Structure 1
Amino acid sequence: MEITTFELLVKRIAPPPADPSVARRVVQGYFLTIANLEDRDFTYQLEFHVSRPNPVDPDRTLTGNAFVAIDIAGENTKLALTEVMPSPVTPVFTTRFRLPAKQTASVQLLPDLTRPGLLDEANPDVEIRGFVRLRLPALRRGVVLRPQSDRPVKVLLNPEVRGTFLPNDLTARGGDFDQINYPLELASGKGLNEVEPDRGFFPIDPVIVAEVAGDRPVLPDLINPPMIDLSLLSPTARAEVLAETLAQVDPSAENLSTVSDLLSKLEIPIRMEPTNR
């Protein structure tokens, strides 16, 4: 489900040629308060769909400019922020977190002020915007990814923007700090929402395929093959990965029969047969 738009900033409140002595810098982040209203724990996934300018500008992407943290009832804990769908138009970054039953968390997408030289720049220009999507991803259960629930999951959502105005001289004692915060309108128009669980499917992993198919690997000579989490890919990309993987199968009648039996057990409507050339 789509939640809101977002905007991260590290820049002066007025661009040059405004007088930098009065145009203070603002650091702005995105905060999402989310409550799990169910009686069991769930793993949630946030997707940040970023608008990319043309030409490419390193100050307009989350890569190297932002991080994600979560706080349930203690200190902030950093979460992984991964670009999963490179695109010339809308790059997608994801993060996952587990939220216990009846618990409320603050998830924060913040500018990374540890970027070398960022706060020393006379006119920093980090400005990143896009929209946020919340998902209930399918999770691995044995050799397949299965839905976490057989029905929509209830959550309470409260998104907001928080910003801090920094003094021009950060080394001085005291300083002129001010803060702002304001709520963002939810796409659903309400705080109480239901998240539809992602459907399950079979993840392409040659090691698992070999284990299920028997003692003879279907895809030989692969050492520590990478796991491809299809839940992070579009339907078209999933089909491409499946086709590319199946194309690597040794096309002997025995192998093709083994793969067909495996796909049938996993309820994938594909059957492979040898062809006469």
Structure 2
Amino acid sequence: MELSTFELLVKPIAPRNGDLTIKAVARRVVQGYFLTISNLESVDLTFNLDFFISIPDSADANRSLRDNAVLIYDIAGNNNFIPLIEIVTDRQFSGSFVLPAGQTASVELLPNATLFTNADPMFEVRGYVSLTLPALFNFETFRFEPQRKMPVQVLLNPEIRGTFLPNGYPQDLGGDFDQINYSLAIASGKALNEIKPEKGFPIWFELFNPDVLNDLRTKLEFRLQNASPLAKAQALAELSAKASTTSSNAQNFGELITNLTIPG
């Protein structure tokens, strides 16, 4: 489901064009996206968050999430970092996490801390967020299978939270450190939502071609990142055993394994 918009910022609140009057009050704002999500089901569920960003007019590192943002979640303990994977170049970034039955988590997309110490930061990214319930890889049936037969219920509350830092931060640690916090409109118009499970699908190596390798690699990385080391090894062994032996397919399969980064 399409969830909400988002906006990440690390930049002055007003242009600093040399006017000392403006420069004196042009504090910098650090702003992140926060999602509170509750799993109302009686089973653990794996969710995907996709962040679709507005494509900049030109190649500008300050308008991309690449190397500029981190994805974090916590339930009732320490923060856990979620790999933020670039699905479509400078367009779609995704991460997945497991939410136990009946639990509530805070999932946060935040600017990278290295941006805070930039003397003149101009980081600004906006877009929209999609929440899905992906099919998971079943090592016994060797296919991706839906997590549930019916839609699952969740409670959602997306927010923007930010902090105003002094203009000369980090050298200047004086002045006000104000904060902002406001809820975002949910696309469905309500906090209680149903997420439809992604349909299952088999892996057919006979159908492989170079155009689909990147998509499959990304899906495998997502589905295997929460598996045990033994399960990951078994998955690669089964992939090798079930691959077609045709020369063209063997080449494509080899490229898949070479490019596949199995999460540790």
**Which band: TM-score by shorter chain?**
0.7 to 0.9
Equivalent residue number for residue 167 of structure 1: 166
Which ranges of structure 1 fall in alignment gaps of 5 or more residues?
230-277
5 Å-filtered alignment, 1:1-277, equals: 1-17=1-17, 19-86=22-89, 91-115=91-115, 119-122=117-120, 124-142=121-139, 143-169=142-168, 170-172=170-172, 174-203=174-203, 208=238, 211-212=241-242, 217-218=245-246, 219-220=249-250, 223=254, 225-226=256-257
| Structure 1 CA distance for aligned equivalents of residues 100 and 182 of structure 2 | 27
Q: Alpha-carbon deviation of 1:209?
A: 5.6
TM-score (norm 2): 0.77
Contact 2:10/2:28 (8 A) holds in 1: yes
Contact 2:12/2:167 (8 A) holds in 1: no
Q: Alpha-carbon deviation of 1:211?
A: 2.3
**CA shift in 2, pair 1:174/1:121, >3 Å:** closer
**CA shift in 2, pair 1:185/1:49, >3 Å:** same
Q: Tell me which amino acid in the other structure corresponds to 1:226.
A: I
Tell me the alpha carbon deviations over residues 138-157 of structure 1, each in whole angstroms, 9 at most, x when there is no partner: 00012110000100010000
Equivalent residue number for residue 214 of structure 2: none
Contact 1:163/1:180 (8 A) holds in 2: yes
| Structure 2 CA distance for aligned equivalents of residues 54 and 173 of structure 1 | 35
| Other structure's SS at 1:211 match | helix
| Other structure's SS at 1:199 match | coil
TM-score (norm 1): 0.73
| Structure 2 CA distance for aligned equivalents of residues 45 and 28 of structure 1 | 22
Q: Tell me which amino acid in the other structure corresponds to 1:211.
A: A
| Structure 1 CA distance for aligned equivalents of residues 103 and 185 of structure 2 | 23
Q: Alpha-carbon deviation of 1:85?
A: 2.0
Contact 2:27/2:166 (8 A) holds in 1: yes
| Other structure's SS at 1:83 match | strand
| Structure 2 CA distance for aligned equivalents of residues 171 and 71 of structure 1 | 31
Q: Alpha-carbon deviation of 1:175?
A: 3.6
Tell me the alpha carbon deviations over residues 17-67 of structure 1, each in whole angstroms, 9 at most, x when there is no partner: 352221100000000000000000000000000101111211001001111
Which ranges of structure 2 fall in alignment gaps of 5 or more residues?
209-236
Larger-Rg structure = 1
Contact 2:166/2:173 (8 A) holds in 1: no
Tell me the alpha carbon deviations over residues 93-120 of structure 1, each in whole angstroms, 9 at most, x when there is no partner: 00000000000000000000224xx523
| Other structure's SS at 1:21 match | helix
Q: Tell me which amino acid in the other structure corresponds to 1:131.
A: Y
Q: In proportion to residue count, which structure has more helix?
A: 2
Q: Alpha-carbon deviation of 1:82?
A: 0.5
The answer to which of 198-207 and 39-48 deviates more is: 198-207
| Structure 1 CA distance for aligned equivalents of residues 150 and 49 of structure 2 | 19
How big is the alpha-carbon RMSD for the aligned residues of Structure 1 and Structure 2?
Answer: 2.3
What percent identity do the matched residue pairs reach? Answer: 49
Contact 2:8/2:110 (8 A) holds in 1: yes
Q: Alpha-carbon deviation of 1:217?
A: 3.6
